[in-house]
Amino acid sequence: MTIMFNTSHLHPMLVHFPIALVMFGFLAEAASLLFKKEAWLSKAGFYLVFTFIALFALMGCTQTKPVKTIENLKAGIKGETTASAKYAAFALKAREEGNDTIAKLFDAASKAEAIHAANHRKVLEELGEKMDEFTPEFEVKTTAENLQAAIEGESYEVTTMYPQFIADAENENVTNAVKSFRWASDTEKKHQQFYKNTLQALNTKAENTLPFVYAVCPVCGNTYDKANMDEDCAFCMTPSDKFIII
């Protein structure tokens, strides 16, 4: 079984139990003086110290690590980091093909995915874990193909990956992981719709109807058409004046 130190036991271990130890020692000393049982006092002291050490070890190791959530956080970091790098590359390709408006969407999504990866990493480190090094791998094709790939990737995340991650984190009672996963999932739903609208506009030669300026929440990655921003982020309530404009 994988174990982790549970800090919720520090107060009773460091305050209440030492007080009880002192009181027991006082009573034992009084008993030894009264009954002249020095050997009894020596044995009592030994057993008392042994019990204190055993209880400290036991109480500090009673909580199992959230193994599944840790695994999911690592997968999420890898997926979001890869998506960030991939969308940045898709933006370059869109500009090469003269699709500057579409490139702006990829830029905004790339920034949002980097924020999601950072949030997941923070939770992972709070659990005492580190992320393994890796190199993002992806393909860059035409802008139309890249949009379709983005739609498919976001669809997987919002229908399969993040719902399972959230359920696992709830089962293992990792509140910060639940929050980070939900922020990412809710943002990916918006990205999915942005990509669908953009692909349709590209196919119908209507790129001029697309947003050209986006706003990204620096806390949760929520992504807006700047023309339709909320006053505060709908997901984490960050004020809009803190948004990253792209």
Q: What is the pLDDT of residues 92-143, one digit of tens each?
A: 999 999 999 999 999 999 999 999 999 999 999 999 999 999 999 999 999 9
User: Strand, coil or helix: what is 214?
Assistant: strand
Angle, alpha carbons 45-48-49 (nearest 5°): 90
Structure tokens at 4: 């982790």
pLDDT band, very low/low/confident/very high, at 18 (cuts 50, 70, 90): low
Residue 227 is classified by DSSP as: G
Nearest CA to 55 out of 22, 1, 29, 16 is that of 16
Give the Å distances, CA to CA, from 233 to 73, 95, 100, 180. 24, 29, 26, 15
pLDDT band, very low/low/confident/very high, at 50 (cuts 50, 70, 90): very low
The predicted model scores a pTM of 0.77
| Residues above pLDDT 90, as percent of the chain | 74
